Structure 1
Amino acid sequence: MLPWTTYETVYEAALNQPETFWLDAARRVTWKQAPVTACRARTDGWHDWFPGATLNTCYNAVDRHVKDGRDGQAALIWYSSATKERQVVTYRELQERVAGFAGGLRSLGINKGDRVLIAMPTMVETAIAMLACARIGAVHVVVFAGYAGPELARRIDDVAPKVIIIASCSFQGQTPIPSAPALNEALAAAMHRPQACVIVQRAVCRASFIPLRDHDFHTLEQSTPAEPVTLHSEDPLYILHTSGTTGHAKGIVRDNGGHAVALALSMELIYGCEPGDTFFTTSDLGWVVGHSYGVYAPLISGCTSVIVEGGASASAIRALCHQHKVKCLFTTPTQMRLMRQESRHLSGAILPTLARIFVAGEYADPILLDWARSYFHKPVVNHWWQTETGWSITAHFFGLPEREPASLINDIGRPAPGFRPSIVPSVPDEQCGEIVLSLPLPPGCLAGMWKDGAIRVPSAYLDETGRYYRTFDEGTIAANRAVHMLGRSDDVIKVAGRRISGVQIEKIIAAHPNVHACAVVAMPDELRGQRPVAYVVLDPQAACASLSEEIVARVNEVLGRWVGLKEVRFVRRLPTTVSGKIIRKRLLVS
């Protein structure tokens, strides 16, 4: 039960009495040695959360729930959009499988601090491998299963894993893609050599084992079970590579203690979930949402987690929500747009247990959110966070009795406890600018960056004073603390000395009934410095004729002709990352 009734009381408590606030929040976690200090500065200039305290994340996510009588409750529910397979794993079964596989990793020489690279699609075995690493203090490095050999080789050389774990195949749609060729190509190119490889054999596409190198995943599960080891709060839990915020691939390091505390608090405060509730994220486990809210947060909180391999259809998502009594659905705008496209042939979803839907990963326009609300008949909200933060910088807080203000419903919300945003104006006296966060960041955020075999201060994210974390996103902050996002710093367009966010233009274009998706980028202009160009994906039944003029007229009517939108380019699809974010830089060279 949360001790606060309003947003202001919870935010002020974290702002004015951070030690007390976070030590209280830490009580949601089972500790071997409870913390007596919330935050302490490191000698390298960064900070540690709950230093000196000890725990085990796997114990918190699995064993303690078995001990507390949740052994028969579903822990993981898995569905494959490719093979249509389903699997339900109880907390007791998960404990047995994780402990056995952890023992198997031990038999391969894996110990505390060793890195284990996991290149698998979203499967039960992926979650088992992650939790098994956490159980014995190994550091898991989950990467996208579809990476080609050269990209996988770069990850291997960066983290020097002792063991690599793959599935025999992943899928592109319904087509199986063998994984062994990419692994072999990566190992041939990488400088580092792992001690062993582990393969999950899938019936649809089996891999040939290389003697002495390869081991069967399910055979290793039958090893002597390993007990959870005691770890310091500041010990690394995982490394996750990202290139989104500063443009270059880097390994974000997450700790054990702060991560567990932040995620446990977020499940209750932001998502309004309690033990026994079912949480469903459509994210791949290779991305941060899959880490945080596909595996760790729901399990640490004693919830049931629904995970999906591949892009689930609208009908599949509806069925999963209905069959498993999902309370919270967490998805992306890309997935939502696909659902909208398919839903033309489906009636609205009647899902009595579904309480709310959360969207993150990229901007979701109000038109899309309104469609989702009318389709699901539930609250649908944005929230803003990054791979680096691991949980929401800003959000809507459904765990509080106080209702969220209606004026914020289409925006990204207000800061979560411990996040202290401010604005660095790009132009003097402007209210908008880059959003920066005061240090120290709250628990659950990056504990550092992995570089040259060690955890380093994330200096690429710090401003010139070293006192602020740069988000590289631009926006404004209202008097009621609400943060309004304009877009990435390099997505803001400068037209004849005036600044306009591409997102502002995209909102207007997306409101057109024939527009499926859009992106606006800045092109050089000899007279005005820059001009916006819109790339538009139409709904399948729409025609391009006269739509370009309609779109330009809409933007002129709402924002004014000074914006200078004259060019609308119709494309079949927008370039996106494998996690669904639009790659606007690629549009600049198209």
Structure 2
Amino acid sequence: MSRYAETYASWRADPVGFWQQAAEQIDWFTPAKSVFNPASGVYGRWFDGATCNTCYNCVDRHVVAGNGDRLAVVYDSPVTGQVARYTFGELQDQVSALASVLRGLGVTKGDRVVIYMPMVPEAIFAMLACARLGAIHSVVFGGFAPQELATRIDDAAPKVVISASCGIEPGRVIAYKPLLDEAIDLSENKPDHCVILQRDTQLCDLTPVRDVDYAEAVETALARGEGTECVPVDATDPLYILYTSGTTGQPKGVVRDNGGHMVALKWTMEHHYDIKPGEVFWAASDVGWVVGHSWICYGPLLHGAATVVFEGKPVGTPDAGTFWRVIQDHGVAALFAAPTALRAIKKEDPKGTLIGEYDFSKFRTLFLAGERSDPATIEWAQEKLDRPVIDHWWQTETGWAMSGNPVGLGAFPVKLGSTGKPMPGYDIRVLDDAGNAVAPGTLGNIVCKLPLPPAGFPTLWNAPDRFISSYMAEYPGYYATSDAGIIDEDGYVFIMARTDDIINVAGHRLSTGAMEEVIGSHPDIAECAVVGKADALKGQMPLGLFVTNNGANRDESELERELVQLIRAKIGAVAAFKHAIEVKRLPKTRSGKVLRGTVQKIADGESFKMPAAIDDPAILDEISAALKAHNMIGEPV
């Protein structure tokens, strides 16, 4: 039996008491004067007056409790063939030594440090070392273009940048140091120092005076026994700044605080993900994204669980079985991945043949988030893995799940296409454009009633007015998620699309996500995207792009006719769906989000800015060529 309903009801009855009890799982230097202070900040602040240290809770307290020999970090890199494991005791040594190096470079409480790293354990050490000193880290996805990195350096004004000589991906090595050097040249705010991890795959030249060799400096500190204490900070002090992808305009620096963040993540590890201390949790993401912050670095370690740092891809390193190999080799209890990763695996191995080659004896649950999970992919994973597949929904701004299916409380029945029900802390509503509540099952704007729970962002870095205008002003008293969807009569949340992806066809508001769900149900389709293309008569018309499964070998025009008929049968003639074009790949961010807005601009013949987070810019040329071949650029459909 699921305890979800009674748990959610207990939060509704006493929100402050609920989070006060959850906070007992965290070690505080001094307790909060007010668990929730409604007069602080824009919508109130959590654990006002408390002092704490996030690194202490992630590392030191486990050592103090006698668990220093427990596994903490697993590094698995199929691109280099390396595997390394660190206990909590070894993690403490590495983090404390690096913190000593940073302190020696002038980093103190409240200073910013930009981390521009590949998926190596040193990226985790760097985040924790900043937290140890009370410094504020800002992780920028390794390999970001110089101009994008410079924008973030200018906004955060870091005292130090921690980086590496290179990043390694299937078939290519990305030299980070030249990108970093160019970014610093472009920046107004110059960091005092750069700490550079030299990787054997490709070394780099260090700039005299400014640059410090990571390994040499840390090894010297370890040899001398130099470390640091965990500096007390206010619970409401920033832990990190995480910039949104910034595909248009100035990126937004989401601020995360220390106290509420720890409370929420610790609660979630037990109650949502059903992980026990000592087990292995794997979030197959990157430290540059919020998933990497919450579920590669902080969440598992707060809970005393081990985390996996994976330097590879779901396919191509070396094949579509690499995820299953990691689960077997490291005894992973739960995997958190993006739906796009599962779709890539399904495309390469549609029959799931490789799954049977690996031992899943410790593997219990697959969690999905980051991109809409289509029912066809969930059904495939459920069948092939023979494990629960749990979709959930959250954002960079919230730091943890707004809706989900809390396995630790006993999972309730899954509804395909739904991201579950609201989690304690979140009062989720669906409003029309005028701010009025809509009936159950009606498409509208998803909002959360304020205040946001612990870990919710209190502001944007250096942009308090933009915080209000972007998130709080449109629906007063609510946080506007910019997602569109429905809540059904049973309380299940369905996220259908970003509000920008709701298209207007002859006055009818239609969800591109609903159309993608139908197209994705076709047995020959691996993945798809639907965008609204400008149309002189109807305003917009839906345009579908699709990628077929390996071995499908279908005629494109015949498949297009089948997809058009599917949309007509499932959604109706009102969708006016007439065109579906086969492409080799869909353009995505490096976290797996499909760049629908950019595809739409290409189809409309508009100029666009190259998305900073794009995985492979060459895909946009492929999309342009495919659309041009079908006379679909800039012409009315």
TM-score range, shorter chain: over 0.9
| 1:136–1:228 CA contact under 8 A, matched in 2 | yes
| 2:321–2:355 CA contact under 8 A, matched in 1 | no
Deviates most, 61-70 or 521-530: 521-530
Aligned to 2:238: 236
Secondary structure class of the residue paired with 1:253 = strand
User: Which string of whole-angstrom CA distances, capped at 9 and with x for unpartnered residues, describes residues 223-272 of structure 1?
Assistant: 21001011110011000000479975110000000000000000111101
Whether 1:275 and 2:277 are equivalent positions in the alignment is yes
Residues 413, 380 of structure 1: CA spacing in aligned structure 2 closer, same or farther, 3 A cutoff? Answer: same
- Number of corresponding residues: 584
For structure 1, list consecutive stretches of 5 or more residues without a partner in the other structure.
Answer: none
| 1:264–1:297 CA contact under 8 A, matched in 2 | yes
Secondary structure class of the residue paired with 2:527 = strand
Give the counterpart letter for 1:174 in structure 2.
G
Give the counterpart letter for 1:109 in structure 2.
G
Deviates most, 151-160 or 491-500: 491-500
Whether 1:67 and 2:75 are equivalent positions in the alignment is no
| 1:246–1:460 CA contact under 8 A, matched in 2 | no
Secondary structure class of the residue paired with 2:514 = helix
Whether 1:499 and 2:506 are equivalent positions in the alignment is no
The CA distance in 1 between the partners of 2:417 and 2:12, in whole Å, is: 26
User: Which string of whole-angstrom CA distances, capped at 9 and with x for unpartnered residues, describes residues 400-446 of structure 1?
Assistant: 14x4124x254100111111111111387663210111111000111
Whether 1:438 and 2:449 are equivalent positions in the alignment is yes
Q: How do 1:437-476 residues align onto structure 2 when only pairs under 5 Å count?
A: 437-451=448-462, 457-464=467-474, 466-476=476-486
Residues 19, 84 of structure 1: CA spacing in aligned structure 2 closer, same or farther, 3 A cutoff? Answer: same
| 2:450–2:477 CA contact under 8 A, matched in 1 | yes
The CA distance in 2 between the partners of 1:580 and 1:334, in whole Å, is: 6
Displacement of 1:44 in angstroms is 4.6
Deviates most, 539-548 or 381-390: 539-548
| 2:269–2:275 CA contact under 8 A, matched in 1 | yes
The CA distance in 1 between the partners of 2:42 and 2:335, in whole Å, is: 38
User: Which string of whole-angstrom CA distances, capped at 9 and with x for unpartnered residues, describes residues 207-227 of structure 1?
Assistant: 111110110112232321001
Aligned to 1:380: 389
The CA distance in 1 between the partners of 2:55 and 2:89, in whole Å, is: 13
User: Which string of whole-angstrom CA distances, capped at 9 and with x for unpartnered residues, describes residues 257-289 of structure 1?
Assistant: 000000000011110111111101110111000
Aligned to 1:101: 98
Residues 247, 562 of structure 1: CA spacing in aligned structure 2 closer, same or farther, 3 A cutoff? Answer: farther
Whether 1:252 and 2:249 are equivalent positions in the alignment is no
User: Which string of whole-angstrom CA distances, capped at 9 and with x for unpartnered residues, describes residues 326-345 of structure 1?
Assistant: 11100011111122133355
Residues 353, 472 of structure 1: CA spacing in aligned structure 2 closer, same or farther, 3 A cutoff? Answer: same
Secondary structure class of the residue paired with 2:534 = strand
The CA distance in 2 between the partners of 1:37 and 1:174, in whole Å, is: 53
Q: Determine which of 431, 451, 454 is the counterpart of 1:424.
A: 431
Whether 1:126 and 2:135 are equivalent positions in the alignment is no
Deviates most, 277-286 or 428-437: 428-437
Residues 316, 356 of structure 1: CA spacing in aligned structure 2 closer, same or farther, 3 A cutoff? Answer: same
Displacement of 1:465 in angstroms is 5.5
The CA distance in 2 between the partners of 1:140 and 1:159, in whole Å, is: 9
Secondary structure class of the residue paired with 1:62 = helix
Whether 1:359 and 2:374 are equivalent positions in the alignment is no
Q: Determine which of 330, 335, 341 is the counterpart of 2:341.
A: 335
Residues 244, 551 of structure 1: CA spacing in aligned structure 2 closer, same or farther, 3 A cutoff? Answer: farther
Residues 93, 383 of structure 1: CA spacing in aligned structure 2 closer, same or farther, 3 A cutoff? Answer: same
| 1:494–1:500 CA contact under 8 A, matched in 2 | yes
Give the counterpart letter for 1:439 in structure 2.
L
Aligned to 1:415: 422
Aligned to 1:400: 409
User: Which string of whole-angstrom CA distances, capped at 9 and with x for unpartnered residues, describes residues 506-532 of structure 1?
Assistant: 111111121111101112233333221
User: Which string of whole-angstrom CA distances, capped at 9 and with x for unpartnered residues, describes residues 61-114 of structure 1?
Assistant: 000111112211110001123212111011100000100100110000000000
Give the counterpart letter for 2:290 in structure 1.
V
User: Which string of whole-angstrom CA distances, capped at 9 and with x for unpartnered residues, describes residues 132-152 of structure 1?
Assistant: 000010000000111111111
The CA distance in 2 between the partners of 1:271 and 1:455, in whole Å, is: 35
| 1:45–1:457 CA contact under 8 A, matched in 2 | no
Residues 245, 436 of structure 1: CA spacing in aligned structure 2 closer, same or farther, 3 A cutoff? Answer: farther
Deviates most, 465-474 or 88-97: 465-474
| 2:338–2:371 CA contact under 8 A, matched in 1 | yes
Deviates most, 370-379 or 133-142: 370-379
The CA distance in 1 between the partners of 2:355 and 2:407, in whole Å, is: 27
Displacement of 1:325 in angstroms is 1.2
Whether 1:521 and 2:523 are equivalent positions in the alignment is no
Residues 120, 347 of structure 1: CA spacing in aligned structure 2 closer, same or farther, 3 A cutoff? Answer: closer
Displacement of 1:34 in angstroms is 2.1
Secondary structure class of the residue paired with 1:586 = helix
User: Which string of whole-angstrom CA distances, capped at 9 and with x for unpartnered residues, describes residues 293-334 of structure 1?
Assistant: 001000000001012113144322112111221111000111
| 2:347–2:548 CA contact under 8 A, matched in 1 | no
| 2:378–2:416 CA contact under 8 A, matched in 1 | no
| 1:381–1:409 CA contact under 8 A, matched in 2 | no
Give the counterpart letter for 1:337 in structure 2.
R
The CA distance in 2 between the partners of 1:9 and 1:582, in whole Å, is: 37
The CA distance in 2 between the partners of 1:415 and 1:247, in whole Å, is: 32
Q: What CA RMSD, in Å, does the superposition of the two structures yield over aligned residues?
A: 1.9
Deviates most, 105-114 or 537-546: 537-546
Residues 448, 397 of structure 1: CA spacing in aligned structure 2 closer, same or farther, 3 A cutoff? Answer: same
Give the counterpart letter for 1:514 in structure 2.
D
Aligned to 2:198: 201
| 1:356–1:378 CA contact under 8 A, matched in 2 | yes
Aligned to 2:612: none
The CA distance in 1 between the partners of 2:6 and 2:395, in whole Å, is: 25
The CA distance in 1 between the partners of 2:62 and 2:54, in whole Å, is: 12
The CA distance in 2 between the partners of 1:9 and 1:37, in whole Å, is: 25
Q: Determine which of 89, 101, 111 is the counterpart of 1:92.
A: 89
Deviates most, 104-113 or 466-475: 466-475
| 1:421–1:436 CA contact under 8 A, matched in 2 | yes
For structure 2, list consecutive stretches of 5 or more residues without a partner in the other structure.
Answer: 603-637
Deviates most, 219-228 or 375-384: 219-228
Give the counterpart letter for 1:445 in structure 2.
G
Aligned to 1:346: 354
Secondary structure class of the residue paired with 2:254 = strand
Aligned to 1:27: 24
The CA distance in 2 between the partners of 1:244 and 1:5, in whole Å, is: 40
Residues 479, 513 of structure 1: CA spacing in aligned structure 2 closer, same or farther, 3 A cutoff? Answer: closer
Aligned to 2:378: 369
The CA distance in 2 between the partners of 1:350 and 1:89, in whole Å, is: 23
The CA distance in 1 between the partners of 2:305 and 2:148, in whole Å, is: 35
The CA distance in 2 between the partners of 1:498 and 1:459, in whole Å, is: 28
| 2:246–2:252 CA contact under 8 A, matched in 1 | no
The CA distance in 2 between the partners of 1:279 and 1:244, in whole Å, is: 29
Q: How do 1:312-323 residues align onto structure 2 when only pairs under 5 Å count?
A: 312-313=314-315, 314-323=320-329
| 1:350–1:376 CA contact under 8 A, matched in 2 | no
Q: Determine which of 512, 519, 543 is the counterpart of 1:509.
A: 519
Deviates most, 169-178 or 281-290: 169-178
Aligned to 1:40: 37
Displacement of 1:374 in angstroms is 1.6
Give the TM-score taking structure 1 as reference length.
0.95
Whether 1:533 and 2:540 are equivalent positions in the alignment is no
Whether 1:587 and 2:599 are equivalent positions in the alignment is yes
